[in-house]
Structure 1
Amino acid sequence: MGRSAWGCWQSVVSTAVLYGSLALFTSILHNVFLLYYVETFVSVYKIDKMSFWVGETVFLIWNSLNDPLFGWLSDRSFLSSPQSGSSITTPEVVLKRLKALSTNGPLFALSFLAFWVAWARPGLQFLLCLCLYDGFLTMVDLHHSALLADLAVSAVDRTRLNFHCSVFSALGSFSVFLSYSFWNKEDFYSFRLFCVTLSAFSILGFLLVSRLLQHRFQKEVRPRQDEALTLKELSVENAPLTHPEKPVTLGQYLKQLSKHKNFMWFVSMNLIQVFHCHFNSNFFPLFLEHLLSDNVSASTGSILLGISFIAPHLNNLYFLTLCQRYGVYQVIRWLFMLKLGLSVAMLLAGADHIYLLCIFIARYGHAHQHTHQGSDV
């Protein structure tokens, strides 16, 4: 009975829904992290200014290095596989990605918990927590984004997968609303329980969805493996002597990347944009407190924060259509112009126009998150 129910569940849930749900298990944690980790260490753990900026600087360097480093390690694992080369198939690649997600997803959730309990000196804990969290987040994002290329070749299929990612990311943003019911700098116990609940949900989600997708693609891999083994046994006597391909070193990998000018321009633009996004997200609650605390209630502030996190994912459903029609980079260019226009307009208007400032906060967070997400489309 249990086996039949499991099979029924697998057949009902589509691959696109399962793929999109992985974004939910990341976003419910990452949104809370972005909102509270700075305020936790500054207001609760009382980290000193020097340790804070040293930690942020090391984090920025680590964040810049781990993307190409983990990408190289991921590709190296495929090249060193006994099935590497022309014989490796898409289902086999998908299974490797899913295995990595089933490991790194729960570790990412556990690293999220390390922020909310004081277990070392604030400066040391700040540095270690940031590097561990960003490392596992990079691994999860790397394999989740790579699955998009492995699961869908056409732009239509990729748009469908991105659609489900946006829907589930929007659902994950509701953790921002819930967090305000538990956040209390004076009494951290309720907020810790809230974070433990989110982390447990994320761990179970990563394990369950990875297992469902693994079972689905395992059915495609087994016949191909049996066929490949049979062909290998038949042709082993006539097979020419071949030398295994040498794995690409990290230095060669970085040298190859540096020769692509478009890639270097993209990385430079992305570095500035990612820094801007993280700076805006991390200090967003502090900006809100100093700009609007005397004019709006705490509940209104929480609604503004929630809108700034949820609206980009919902509106991204429309932006996917624009990307198909006009191209990703054209849409990103428009969003940069929108951000510049909003900034100039708000600068000229000043901070005395409360309602205009509220709209700017919600819409500006809206625009900057869209630009950051555009590179994933």
Structure 2
Amino acid sequence: MTVNKNRLIAYCASGIAFRMVSTAYSFYYVKVFMNLYHIKAYWFQMAQLVYLTWNVINDPLFGYIQDSKRLRITKTRRESILYCGPILVTTFIIPWFPWGDNSWVVGLHLILSLVSWDTVCTFMSLTMSALFVELSDKTEDRILLTKYYHAACILGTPTVLLLEFTSDSLSNFKTFQTTTVLIAVCSALLFLYAGINISSPYDPNTIKRTNSDIHQNNEIDKNISEGNESYCTQVCQYLSDVNFIAFAVTFFFHIFHKCFVNNFLGIVCDHLIPDDVFPKDARKIFYGGIPFISAICVVFGASFATRYSYYKVVQSVYGSMVLAGLIMLYIGQEHTWCLIIFLMLDRRPLSSMVFGTSSLIARPAISLSPMFVAAVLDIYGYSQLKGTESSLELKHAMFMLVCCYPIIIGSIQFVSWSFFKIPCKSEKTILIET
């Protein structure tokens, strides 16, 4: 591997820091606002609508700003991580400290929490994705970098497990708050380490003007000049490409499904899986262990996937996910252990490996998926529960969501992915860190 060792360690540190906060945030924010703050359906939908609108704007906008290199914070990837890391962990702890009991206060709390988190998270995600590409242009290096990165990120995945046990599954909310602050401090320290030690070969201060790299620097200058094209021009170029549309549609539903699993797994399992079948401690391990499974599968699955066509592997995953959903729907919700295994396998880490972190078309799925699921649950009276036993109709609705998500989304992805064309000799190069 030709990637500088110090850069590799610093990059992995940033990945651990990012994983620590992002895993906990996506798993808990919906559950906290719905179960503990009892947010009204109107305000939840309003918050997600604002989140959706900002998501559409900020992703390509920040990409354009980063490419412009005009601001100090965007001049180098190192400075972006150094300055934005502490800000990101600050936005991470905002949702866990309630502002008041009034419905509009809770709604405003969620809106500002989502917008502030997404603003910094998007900026950081773009920085880390660009850094992944810049660390090496060799396919073999990127595959190894993906392995090292996800192996390191395993150290950042226990945050849900830690929070489940320290807070007794949110029963002790003060302990939950304390633990989130400790997680934020650890994440901030890792971001600071990464920001101090990481650098990109394309950073101005690392480029040496020698005869041997004149051609390389000409290419860099050319890319920078292309990056200074207008925002609208760049967006139109992407939207006119069939390959991009096929990839973006597939990615949109990938995020749509992923957000359902991340945001509502705890809620669905608490109602569909009885405590006498799945004890509370086992449930905590299950919630905390799912991020481990995804990370480990990426580490050990990268070598397997590169031996075959990524295109065919991903398409086979979508086909199998449709089949699994149909089988689970046929079996029924009474077979609890089959449902547990089905939910555990519904992460599809191999398909995640080919998608980048951000996209103009796909980012709205982060808001649309919770909006849709929350609306369905509200129809069946979830917002009125407040500790009471859920009805059979609500449980059935949750089970149908669990089964129909992979069936419908997998079918759409199978079709849309078939329109994505890539030369066989370069299929391995579509591996992108997520």
Q: Distance in 1 between matches of 2:82 and 2:28?
A: 26
**Equivalent residue number for residue 106 of structure 1:** 86
1:20–1:162 contact (8 Å) kept in structure 2: no
**Equivalent residue number for residue 117 of structure 2:** 133
Q: CA deviation at 1:183?
A: 2.4
**Equivalent residue number for residue 257 of structure 1:** 238
Q: Distance in 2 between matches of 1:371 and 1:28?
A: 22
Using a 3 Å threshold, how does the CA distance of structure 1 residues 54 and 371 change in structure 2: closer, same or farther? Answer: farther
Structure 1 stretch 54-63 or stretch 250-259: which is displaced more?
54-63
Alignment of 1:337-376 (within 5 A): 337-365=319-347, 367=348, 369-376=349-356
**Equivalent residue number for residue 71 of structure 1:** 63
Using a 3 Å threshold, how does the CA distance of structure 1 residues 358 and 224 change in structure 2: closer, same or farther? Answer: same
**Equivalent residue number for residue 318 of structure 2:** 336
2:161–2:289 contact (8 Å) kept in structure 1: no
2:248 to 267, 288, 292: 267
Q: CA deviation at 1:18?
A: 2.4
Using a 3 Å threshold, how does the CA distance of structure 1 residues 222 and 66 change in structure 2: closer, same or farther? Answer: closer
Q: CA deviation at 1:126?
A: 0.4
- Are 1:311 and 2:293 an aligned pair? yes
SS of 2:39's equivalent in the other structure is coil
Using a 3 Å threshold, how does the CA distance of structure 1 residues 246 and 334 change in structure 2: closer, same or farther? Answer: closer
1:170–1:314 contact (8 Å) kept in structure 2: yes
**Equivalent residue number for residue 301 of structure 1:** 283
2:201–2:207 contact (8 Å) kept in structure 1: no
- Are 1:124 and 2:108 an aligned pair? yes
Q: Summarize deviations over 1:141-190 as a string: whole Å, max 9, x none.
A: 11111111111111110011101111122221111211112225454211
Using a 3 Å threshold, how does the CA distance of structure 1 residues 100 and 59 change in structure 2: closer, same or farther? Answer: same
SS of 2:352's equivalent in the other structure is helix
2:143 to 142, 159, 165: 159
**Can you give the 5+ residue segments of structure 2 that lack an aligned partner in the other structure?**
215-224, 357-430
Q: Distance in 1 between matches of 2:142 and 2:228?
A: 30
1:323–1:331 contact (8 Å) kept in structure 2: yes
2:16–2:152 contact (8 Å) kept in structure 1: yes
Q: CA deviation at 1:345?
A: 1.3
Using a 3 Å threshold, how does the CA distance of structure 1 residues 370 and 301 change in structure 2: closer, same or farther? Answer: farther
Q: Distance in 1 between matches of 2:133 and 2:353?
A: 16
Structure 1 stretch 327-336 or stretch 170-179: which is displaced more?
327-336
Partner letter of residue 324 of structure 1?
T
Q: Which runs of 4+ in 1 moved over 3 A?
A: 184-187, 216-223, 244-247
2:49 to 44, 53, 57: 57
**Equivalent residue number for residue 173 of structure 2:** 188
1:305–1:362 contact (8 Å) kept in structure 2: no
Rg: which structure is higher? Answer: 1
**Equivalent residue number for residue 147 of structure 1:** 131
- Are 1:48 and 2:40 an aligned pair? yes
**Can you give the 5+ residue segments of structure 1 that lack an aligned partner in the other structure?**
1-11, 83-92, 232-243
Partner letter of residue 155 of structure 1?
T
1:76–1:248 contact (8 Å) kept in structure 2: no
**Equivalent residue number for residue 12 of structure 2:** 20
1:170–1:311 contact (8 Å) kept in structure 2: no
Q: Distance in 2 between matches of 1:312 and 1:335?
A: 14
Using a 3 Å threshold, how does the CA distance of structure 1 residues 158 and 210 change in structure 2: closer, same or farther? Answer: same
**Equivalent residue number for residue 241 of structure 1:** none
SS of 1:326's equivalent in the other structure is coil
Q: Distance in 1 between matches of 2:80 and 2:249?
A: 28
Normalising to structure 2: TM-score of the pair? Answer: 0.71
Q: Distance in 1 between matches of 2:171 and 2:153?
A: 30
- Are 1:174 and 2:158 an aligned pair? yes
Q: CA deviation at 1:220?
A: 9.3
Q: Summarize deviations over 1:99-123 as a string: whole Å, max 9, x none.
A: 1111112111110010111236110
Q: Distance in 2 between matches of 1:370 and 1:359?
A: 17
Q: CA deviation at 1:58?
A: 2.4
SS of 1:133's equivalent in the other structure is helix
Q: CA deviation at 1:207?
A: 0.7
Alignment of 1:34-45 (within 5 A): 34-45=26-37
SS of 1:374's equivalent in the other structure is coil
Q: CA deviation at 1:278?
A: 0.8
2:6–2:198 contact (8 Å) kept in structure 1: no
2:15–2:149 contact (8 Å) kept in structure 1: yes
Normalising to structure 1: TM-score of the pair? Answer: 0.81
Q: CA deviation at 1:19?
A: 1.4
1:308–1:361 contact (8 Å) kept in structure 2: no
Q: Summarize deviations over 1:74-94 as a string: whole Å, max 9, x none.
A: 1122xx589xxxxxxxxxx9x
Q: Distance in 1 between matches of 2:233 and 2:83?
A: 28
Q: What is the RMSD of the two structures over their aligned residues, measured on CA atoms?
A: 2.8
Q: CA deviation at 1:277?
A: 0.7
Q: Distance in 2 between matches of 1:135 and 1:81?
A: 16
- Count residues with an aligned counterpart: 335
Q: CA deviation at 1:260?
A: 1.5
1:166–1:317 contact (8 Å) kept in structure 2: yes
Q: Distance in 2 between matches of 1:61 and 1:34?
A: 19
1:346–1:357 contact (8 Å) kept in structure 2: yes
2:305 to 304, 323, 340: 323
Q: Summarize deviations over 1:218-241 as a string: whole Å, max 9, x none.
A: 99936826x79xx9xxxxxxxxxx
